Amino acid sequence: MNTIYLAGGCFWGLQKFFDQFDGVIRTEVGYANGPDSAPTYQDVCKSSGHAETVLIEFDEDRMSLAGLLRYYFMVIDPVSVNRQGHDVGIQYRTGIYYTDPDMLPVIREICDEEAAEIGAPLAVEVEPLV
Enumerate the active-site residues.
10
Helix axes 104-118, 65-75, angle to 10 degrees: 40
* Of 126, 93, 95, nearest in space to 109 by CA: 126
Handedness of CA 33, 79, 4, 29 (dihedral sign): positive
